[in-house]
């Protein structure tokens, strides 16, 4: 089943501390964002990539656009949610739409197809992995409670939706001036069920400098495994 994807890439990468958009940093010889874009460019079920960028990165993205066939560029906003909303306005208004962080280059094609399938059945499906650590609720450095881990999942992207589900959730959030940390939280708030698709622990978001070491390790592991 075909789908389109919005890739927010308009952040400033403050926590990475490079002094410029982290997605332009090199990972195994290529900018991080190209690793992410390649996954969707190669997926024959992906009909359109809506890449959301900051105007500061115009010239970089203008150059790379000519190497891809599916990319449609739009400008982002001051918050990730606004960037995704701008992307949504440039999308085809039907079918399945995914939102995937530019900063997650290790998403597996199998996870994408499971998400598309699940969203087509239920309207909303998100990638996640079970929480591995013991999690405690803490106030002022004092433990209040040990949370039951069996019901905790660490949420990632992609998050997949029927177009109308994502659009109405975003419009409602806009009206209420609600800012969520992911798309699913807007959809949940709108009263829609959201399904989990189990992803894997490689699908990290490159956020702080040490994530780059983990990223190199994942690339080395994959190269060995697949002999690439």
Q: Which of ligand CTP, Mg ion, none binds 114 (CB below 5-8 Å, type-dependent)?
A: none
From 62-70, 95-103, 125-133, 175-183, give the range in contact with ligand CTP by CB under 6 A.
95-103
Q: How far is the CB of 227 from Mg ion (least distance, A)?
A: 36
Listed residue (16, 81, 25, 14) closest to 52, CA to CA:
81
Q: How far is the CB of 11 from ligand CTP (least distance, A)?
A: 2
From 63-71, 76-84, 169-177, 180-188, give the range in contact with ligand CTP by CB under 6 A.
76-84
Q: How far is the CB of 148 from ligand CTP (least distance, A)?
A: 28
In SS3 terms, the chain reads as CCEEEEEECCCCCHHHCCCCCHHHCEECCEEHHHHHHHHHHHCCCEEEEEEEECHHHHHHHHHHHCCCCCEEEEECCCCHHHHHHHHHHCCCCCCEEEECCCCCCCCCHHHHHHHHHHHHHHCEEEEEEECCCCCEEEECCEEEEECCHHHCEEEEEEEEEEHHHHHHHHHHHHHHCCCCCCHHHHHHHCCCCCEEEECCCCCCCCCCCHHHHHHHHHHHHHHHHHCC
Please report whether residue 205 would count as binding ligand CTP according to CB under 6 A. yes
Which of 8, 31, 123, 158 contacts ligand CTP by CB under 6 A?
8
Q: How far is the CB of 21 from ligand CTP (least distance, A)?
A: 6
State the Cα–Cα distance between residues 63 and 149, nearest whole angstrom.
46
Determine the length of the chain.
Answer: 228
Please report whether residue 126 would count as binding ligand CTP according to CB under 6 A. no
State the Cα–Cα distance between residues 151 and 123, nearest whole angstrom.
22
From 8-16, 30-38, 52-60, 88-96, give the range in contact with Mg ion by CB under 5 A.
8-16
Please report whether residue 6 would count as binding ligand CTP according to CB under 6 A. no
Q: How far is the CB of 202 from ligand CTP (least distance, A)?
A: 16
Please report whether residue 182 would count as binding ligand CTP according to CB under 6 A. no
From 7-15, 98-106, 112-120, 219-227, give the range in contact with Mg ion by CB under 5 A.
7-15
| Interface positions with Mg ion (CB under 5 A) | 11
| Interface positions with ligand CTP (CB under 6 A) | 8-15, 22-23, 52, 76-80, 83, 101-103, 205, 207
């Amino acid at each position: 089943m075909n789908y389109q994807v919005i890739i927010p890439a308009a952040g400033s990468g403050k926590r990475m501390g490079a002094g410029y958009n982290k997605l332009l940093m090199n990972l195994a010889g290529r900018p991080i964002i190209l690793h992410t874009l390649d996954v969707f460019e190669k997926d024959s079920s992906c009909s359109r990539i809506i890449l959301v960028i900051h105007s500061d990165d115009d010239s970089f993205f203008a150059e790379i656009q000519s190497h891809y066939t599916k990319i449609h560029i739009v400008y982002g906003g001051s918050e990730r949610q606004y960037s995704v909303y701008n992307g949504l306005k440039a999308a085809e208004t039907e079918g399945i739409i995914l939102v995937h962080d530019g900063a997650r280059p290790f998403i597996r094609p199998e996870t994408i197809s499971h998400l598309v399938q699940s969203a087509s059945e239920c309207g909303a499906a998100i990638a996640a992995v079970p929480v591995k650590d013991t999690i405690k609720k803490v106030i002022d450095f004092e433990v209040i409670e040990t949370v039951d881990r069996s019901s905790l999942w660490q949420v990632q992207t992609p998050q997949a939706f029927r177009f109308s589900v994502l659009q109405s959730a975003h419009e409602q959030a806009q009206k209420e001036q609600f800012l969520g940390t992911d798309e699913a939280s807007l959809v949940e708030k709108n009263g829609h069920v959201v399904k989990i698709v189990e992803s894997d622990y490689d699908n990290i978001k490159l956020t702080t400098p040490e994530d780059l070491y983990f990223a190199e390790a994942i690339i080395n592991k994959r190269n060995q495994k697949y002999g690439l």
